[in-house]
Structure 1
Amino acid sequence: MMDIALIAVIVSLVGLAIAALLYKKVTSVEIDDPTVADITQQIQDGAMAFLKAEYKYLSIFVGVVAVLLYFVTEDDGHLTSLAFLGGALASVLAGMSGMRAATAANGRTAMAAQKDGQAGALAISYNGGAVMGLSVGGLGLLGISLVAYFLGAGDAGQTNITHAAGFGMGASSIALFARVGGGIYTKAADVGADLVGKVEAGIPEDDPRNPGVIADNVGDNVGDVAGMGADIFESFVGSIIAAMVIADSSANMNADYVILPIFLGLVGYMASLVGVFSMELLKNSEPGAALRNTTFIGAGLFWVVGWFGIGFMDLDTGTEPMIAVIIGSIVGILIGLVTEYYTGIEDVFGLKTKAIPHIGQMSKTGPATNAIAGLSVGMMSTFIPIILICFGIFGANHFMMDGHTSGSAGGYMPEFGLYGIAMAAMGMLATVGVTMTVDAYGPVADNAGGIAEMSGLGKDVRDITDSLDSIGNTTAAIGKGFAIGSAALTALALFAAYSAAAGLGLDQLALSDPKVVIGLLIGGALPFVVAAMTMTSVGKAANEMVTEIRRQFKEIDGLLEGKEGVKPDSAKCVQISTDAALREMVGPGVVAIIAPVIVGFALGSPALGGLLAGSLVTGVLMALFMANAGGAWDNAKKAIEQGHIEGAEKGDAAHDAAVIGDTIGDPFKDTSGPSLNILIKLMSIVAVVIAPALTITGWL
């Protein structure tokens, strides 16, 4: 069975080579407009400078945690430490490669829009996103396959697979810091630039007179490329690890169940490669349909090859895991459509959306009613996705349990149902190569529009980039729905893996145990604490940004008037965002790692189980609420700008109210909400890592 891990290593290396060729293809396009070239270089320099500074700080953190893991984990602690370092390194490499490609593709997309029209611009922006997508999928598959190979996964003499959780912990640690740091960076710039530029000065978005626009465009890459990539990366490897640990801990599952997640990851990555290349055939069709179809091609191919591949590879698992995988995929698609309904401007399969028009109408009476409407839409948007997640959990559990009610141990065997839930999470994530490509396309198109505006490329170019950006906003909203749904299933699977690794039975997680209830309440509160910390950080950083932009408009003669030769000090705004992000990202990361350690060692393993359950419930609900409320506020503003709201137009009082609502929603959807996805997964993976060292009673 180790042949599967080796094949996965080879395929992932081929995929990474293809990503490198796509990067070369993107950068081979010449930027012959000096203004576009200069702005593109400024954005790339700012983005890479931030990443290097962020990773410099994180390298110290990673080194310290790796040493602690060596001493805290029992039995071959060096294996967990090495896996942790590998996971962190793979996540860093994925972020760096994706960021470099995205910041190279943005200006070239703008130039392609001018020269080759929409099809040319779509091709370059998609290829730029594909570098990130294939890097995330390839490095994730490569890393976890190497870990599985060296641990002997699927062989009779395999080492304790729990060590593989170290890889997931390394990926999760980088992901949380990348998401929080990137979110603070981008929203400080975005909120500051919008409040002073749009509301106070009355100048358009991405106007070159605004000192904050370069930082805003840098932030799109830092948050939505590197941050989202790290988030999806750790969900992908987390779902694989959870399934492997559950199978390894069961006396009723054979070794094929341990290696099956690697096989499905391999098939999903191969299907992603086909999906990415299908864009060559689809690029002349309507962009939104082309993007959706690349995803559907990848998913459909994965289902078919996965189903028949289990038999072809002679894996003794039956087809029940693939049923769970397909259920997870369908749930992910449906959550994406529900997200689109609550946050999109256009109808969803003929179903007329009411949320955006409602917020737009409420904007006519001021910022307060806009805010109230956005909050209510965000709250209501949580219900259907939660029901869908429940159906996914029930369906995956049911089909995996069917036929597994007796075995060598006899009687009811819940581990098969829990394994099915991990498979459902894999269903959302196995084709990460193509889904992440579509997600990363959005920031490239957004940046292209900003560069076109700042460079004065003309209305025709801006119309093309705006249409691509509008599609990107929808794909981003759907991507966030996918990320939250997969986070819920992955965290639940990791909870099951923790219970198995800690040897906890159902009777030890009973609500009649006060320590379990204490853990439950603490866990339920933690998402609120982390959300508050990140919102506070964005507010403080945005305050600094607003003050600086106002200062420049006041003190630099001719800047606001657009006098020829007068330029803003964009570097100062970039530095404000960078400093704020690096300073403020530490707190949430420390909370996520320290909380499960303290509760686990002080109150015992059942209390830590309660903490994970509590954080899962409130974390998923908060993430859905914040992501969808923020997306709805954003598109309500765009609906007014595009003339979809009767009696409201760009520049009037209703638009000003919508801009204020959007500035509230920005940290909701791009900082706090996404950070909660990673919070619940990181705490779960930390729990799996420390589980062997915990006791039932704890220190207290």
Structure 2
Amino acid sequence: MTNLIYAVPAVGILAIVYMIIRSSWINKQDAGDERMRIIAGYIAQGAMSFLKAEYRILSIFVVVASVLLFFLSYNNPHSSPLIVLAFVIGAVFSATAGYIGMRVATKSNVRTAQAARTSLSKALDISFAGGSVMGIGVVGLGILGLGVLFIVFMKVLNPDMSTDPVILNRVLEVLTGFSLGAESIALFARVGGGIYTKAADVGADLVGKVEAGIPEDDPRNPAVIADNVGDNVGDVAGMGADLFGSYVSTVLATMVLGIGIAAANGSTDQFGGISGILLPLFIAAAGVIFSILGTFFVKVKEGGDPQRALNIGNFGAVIMTAIASYFLITNILPRDMTETFIGSTHSFSSMSVFFTVLIGLGVGTAISLITEYFCAMGRTPVNTIARQSATGHATNVISGISVGMFSTAYPTIILVVGIISSYAVGGLYGVAMAAAGMMATTGIQLAIDAFGPIADNAGGVAEMSGLPKEVRANTDVLDAVGNTTAAIGKGFAIASAALTSLALFAAFMTITGIDGVNITNPWVLGGLFIGGMIPYLFSSLAISSVGRAANDMVQEVRSQFKNIPGLLEGKEGVQPDYEKCIQISTRAAIREMMAPGLITIIVPALLGFLFGAEVLGGYLAGVTVSGVLLAIFQSNAGGAWDNAKKSFEKGIEINGQVYYKGSDPHKAAVTGDTVGDPFKDTSGPSMNILIKLSCIVALIIAPNIHSPLIATGSAGQEQCAMEQGACCSGKKEMCHGDAASCEKGNACCKMDANGVCVIDTAKCMEMGCWKDGKLDSAKCKAMGCMPGEKCSSKSSSKACCDKK
């Protein structure tokens, strides 16, 4: 490993320096008058109060999970107690990513509102600067954590810098703890933040806009501060932790599959044979650099189109990253490579890997454009929903569901084409590299996403402060663009989750030694169905949590309107009790986030330990397919409903008549937006974390699930997959990495792609160790299942042959 690897964490430090400089610039901007600062203070105080309460609960989870990880890794030759360190650092970094986003958002919102008094251009500069602090800070922490931990673990666990796949697998298995920590915190932050924000949003909209007929963000509404706090805890802190986890998981999955490249090529490159492992780190580092450069291209002239300015910065970063990837790939990887996976080989060149990165960037861009089409104002899907509002609330909801369902078709086709083409060009490593290419520019993508809720908050501050209508008009322009960019970002993350989960699943198969998922087996089919069900159960729990919390919020808002004289009339000096509504959302979010989060972690672990690797593999397949489709449906439907409502703010023509805010069609559109709120901001965005975290949990427990309680295939597979650890037990070092010794040590053994001696199911059946579906012990022993020559004693022979 050359000194060039130290450039990876150095780029992370560069990103953090950029974040500090931009934060300092934001703090120097005008924060407006006293009224604006007071309102912004309420929002910041409520946001930080929630974050502290959430992190107190999550710290308990981290401690409990760390203890369990320690016992799983202790004396495990495939892991190390160092996985606990990686897990804790991943959790802390994920929480830090959310905290950074929260702090900068609550500083930027009031300054954006003040800037909107002078120009749209200045308001975009500040809101996007806030988003860029979030985006670049997240990827900086990600690349810093991965880079430093990989260097440390290589020195501790692999001091000789060996390319032995067994040792490299162990290093990356331990590094997987970093991803587990990141995704675990991301899941709870996303779900908890989503419940908080949508409970407040739904309660504020139903009573304020629909029942009382007051404008959005009106200071008379008791839930208005909680609603604006929710924009920060859900759409900023939750999203920051979410994409931090996605970014780390994608890079790590590609590194794991890079072991197959290292094993096939030995030391034929300048990195001692581990170039396939290091390449995703270098591409991620390049993406950070060009994301930083891309932020400087986001400029808009007065009267210009903010969406176009954001697209220029985004596509500029994508193009520069693609060019840099060519030079990185052709100089780091060997010219010709062979990927070995589950006994099969796939030959390709370094140029093939470059093409897979282009495929990933193309898939991400295409899905972004499709998402923009389905969610953007002025487009046919949004206009269709708005026009359906003329005939009532029900037709608006029906139209939104239809648009959301139809929106799954094109992204799914693009994903399938991307997966098949990247596999054909570069094998499973190519699929992983496509995901890595897609996520390389996460920095600027997240910056664009995060600017949206900052602009939304700025509009709330402007409304509550009584600023002129021109100010709110400027913030509404940014808010509408922000809704579209948020939907695009969610589609981007979902697509990445699909590709990353495939790479993680391939890594899971490598470690467990299973050679496929046989759905003709009823146990595996059961795992598949359970996996397909879990995203629906998860969504149900999240949405019902929003419903219960929103009900409490509605009752509180109604009560205050009824019991506080002069509040609804807006009498001077009469103020609602904002704190009660903040407490309702906080308590609900903390209470309700636990069940969906624990299901995500516990179910795959139970299936793996009780029923074995193949059943767990079926579960992962079900979660991935069901979760991806449900995520696309919910995110796009919610985004389309939201912008259909906003269409009435400028006025929309329906059947020859123009309708505006306050009209009956607008009220129907508000109902649709309220239905879509938990779709797009609670359950929908959580699906990609559910998918990846399920795969990561499976990868973490993979070395410990060799003994299923049930059959997972044919009679031979039942016994042969039962106890891989018994193969060459006692003297594993004599067999690992040595195919000849492995085969001598056990007539039913073979060396897998990672040099680990595992059961060869086909040979086991061929040698006749099974008869009429049952173990033929005499035949098994006669074949020399575990001869003392290369393995251990008769007891070991019995352990190999007898079912435990």
> TM-score scaled by structure 2?
0.82
| CA-to-aligned-CA distance 1:229-259 (integer Å, 9 cap, x gap) | 1111111111111111122256325411011
Q: Could you say if the C-alpha distance between residues 321 and 113 of structure 1 is closer, same or farther in structure 2, counting changes exceeding 3 Å?
A: same
| CA-to-aligned-CA distance 1:483-510 (integer Å, 9 cap, x gap) | 111111111111111111212213xx11
| CA-to-aligned-CA distance 1:488-538 (integer Å, 9 cap, x gap) | 1111111111111212213xx111222211111110110010000001100
- Does 1:529 find its partner at 2:540? no
**How far is 1:149 from its partner?**
0.9
Name the residue aligned to 1:334.
366
Query: 1:600 is matched by which residue type in structure 2?
Result: G
Query: 1:478 is matched by which residue type in structure 2?
Result: I
Name the residue aligned to 2:440.
430
C-alpha separation in 2, matches of 1:395 and 1:218: 44
C-alpha separation in 2, matches of 1:61 and 1:645: 52
| CA-to-aligned-CA distance 1:29-65 (integer Å, 9 cap, x gap) | 1324001101111111111111111111101101110
Name the residue aligned to 1:406.
none
Query: 1:108 is matched by which residue type in structure 2?
Result: R
- Does 1:30 find its partner at 2:30? yes
- Does 1:649 find its partner at 2:660? yes
C-alpha separation in 1, matches of 2:113 and 2:695: 42
- Residue pair 1:132, 1:437 contacting (<8 A) in 2 also: yes
- Residue pair 1:4, 1:262 contacting (<8 A) in 2 also: no
| CA-to-aligned-CA distance 1:177-205 (integer Å, 9 cap, x gap) | 01100000000000000000000000000
Deviation larger for 641-650 or 676-685:
641-650
Q: Could you say if the C-alpha distance between residues 570 and 538 of structure 1 is closer, same or farther in structure 2, counting changes exceeding 3 Å?
A: same
Name the residue aligned to 2:282.
263
C-alpha separation in 1, matches of 2:502 and 2:328: 27
**How far is 1:146 from its partner?**
1.4
The counterpart of 1:563, out of the listed 567, 571, 578, is: 571
| CA-to-aligned-CA distance 1:340-390 (integer Å, 9 cap, x gap) | 1111113xxxxxx32122212221121111111111111111010000000
- Does 1:671 find its partner at 2:682? yes
- Does 1:65 find its partner at 2:65? yes
Name the residue aligned to 1:550.
558
Q: Could you say if the C-alpha distance between residues 547 and 6 of structure 1 is closer, same or farther in structure 2, counting changes exceeding 3 Å?
A: same
- Residue pair 1:225, 1:440 contacting (<8 A) in 2 also: yes
C-alpha separation in 2, matches of 1:473 and 1:45: 25
Name the residue aligned to 1:639.
647
C-alpha separation in 2, matches of 1:307 and 1:249: 21
**1:204-353 alignment, distance < 5 Å:** 204-248=215-259, 251-252=263-264, 254-279=273-298, 286-313=305-332, 318-346=350-378, 353=379
Query: 2:321 is matched by which residue type in structure 1?
Result: F
C-alpha separation in 2, matches of 1:668 and 1:228: 15
C-alpha separation in 2, matches of 1:167 and 1:319: 31
RMSD of Structure 2 on Structure 1 (CA): 1.7
| CA-to-aligned-CA distance 1:654-682 (integer Å, 9 cap, x gap) | 11111111111000110011111110110
C-alpha separation in 1, matches of 2:669 and 2:260: 52
Q: Could you say if the C-alpha distance between residues 42 and 238 of structure 1 is closer, same or farther in structure 2, counting changes exceeding 3 Å?
A: same
- Residue pair 1:183, 1:670 contacting (<8 A) in 2 also: yes
**Identical positions, percent:** 50
C-alpha separation in 1, matches of 2:401 and 2:690: 22
The counterpart of 2:604, out of the listed 584, 591, 596, is: 596
Name the residue aligned to 2:452.
442
Name the residue aligned to 1:90.
93
Query: 1:303 is matched by which residue type in structure 2?
Result: A
The counterpart of 2:192, out of the listed 181, 184, 189, is: 181
**How far is 1:2 from its partner?**
4.8
Deviation larger for 142-151 or 545-554:
142-151
SS at 2:361's partner residue? helix
Name the residue aligned to 1:662.
673
- Residue pair 1:162, 1:501 contacting (<8 A) in 2 also: no
C-alpha separation in 1, matches of 2:416 and 2:332: 32
**How far is 1:594 from its partner?**
0.1
C-alpha separation in 2, matches of 1:582 and 1:4: 44
**How far is 1:4 from its partner?**
3.7
SS at 1:695's partner residue? coil
- Does 1:202 find its partner at 2:204? no
Query: 2:28 is matched by which residue type in structure 1?
Result: S
C-alpha separation in 2, matches of 1:5 and 1:455: 51
**How far is 1:445 from its partner?**
0.6
- Does 1:46 find its partner at 2:49? no
C-alpha separation in 2, matches of 1:565 and 1:236: 49
Q: Could you say if the C-alpha distance between residues 282 and 276 of structure 1 is closer, same or farther in structure 2, counting changes exceeding 3 Å?
A: farther
- Residue pair 1:249, 1:501 contacting (<8 A) in 2 also: no
C-alpha separation in 2, matches of 1:573 and 1:295: 38
C-alpha separation in 2, matches of 1:644 and 1:104: 35
Q: Could you say if the C-alpha distance between residues 354 and 607 of structure 1 is closer, same or farther in structure 2, counting changes exceeding 3 Å?
A: same
Name the residue aligned to 2:120.
118
Name the residue aligned to 2:162.
156
The counterpart of 1:360, out of the listed 366, 386, 390, is: 386
C-alpha separation in 2, matches of 1:523 and 1:249: 28
Residue-pair matches, total: 675
**How far is 1:173 from its partner?**
0.2
SS at 2:116's partner residue? helix
Between Structure 1 and Structure 2, which shows a larger proportion of helix residues? Answer: 1
Name the residue aligned to 1:407.
none
Deviation larger for 637-646 or 290-299:
637-646
Q: Could you say if the C-alpha distance between residues 359 and 314 of structure 1 is closer, same or farther in structure 2, counting changes exceeding 3 Å?
A: closer
**How far is 1:314 from its partner?**
6.5
- Does 1:371 find its partner at 2:397? yes
**How far is 1:699 from its partner?**
6.7
- Residue pair 2:613, 2:706 contacting (<8 A) in 1 also: yes
**How far is 1:280 from its partner?**
5.9
Name the residue aligned to 1:130.
132
Query: 1:148 is matched by which residue type in structure 2?
Result: F
Q: Could you say if the C-alpha distance between residues 645 and 530 of structure 1 is closer, same or farther in structure 2, counting changes exceeding 3 Å?
A: farther
Name the residue aligned to 2:7.
7
The counterpart of 2:83, out of the listed 75, 80, 85, is: 80
| CA-to-aligned-CA distance 1:4-46 (integer Å, 9 cap, x gap) | 4311111111110110111111011132400110111111111
**How far is 1:623 from its partner?**
0.5
Deviation larger for 220-229 or 72-81:
72-81
| CA-to-aligned-CA distance 1:614-660 (integer Å, 9 cap, x gap) | 00010001101111111111111112232124233321221111111
C-alpha separation in 2, matches of 1:4 and 1:485: 31
Deviation larger for 237-246 or 100-109:
237-246
Name the residue aligned to 1:106.
109
Deviation larger for 221-230 or 587-596:
221-230
**How far is 1:698 from its partner?**
3.8
SS at 2:571's partner residue? coil
Query: 2:264 is matched by which residue type in structure 1?
Result: N
- Does 1:685 find its partner at 2:696? yes
SS at 1:152's partner residue? helix
C-alpha separation in 1, matches of 2:213 and 2:303: 37
- Does 1:142 find its partner at 2:161? no
Name the residue aligned to 1:501.
511
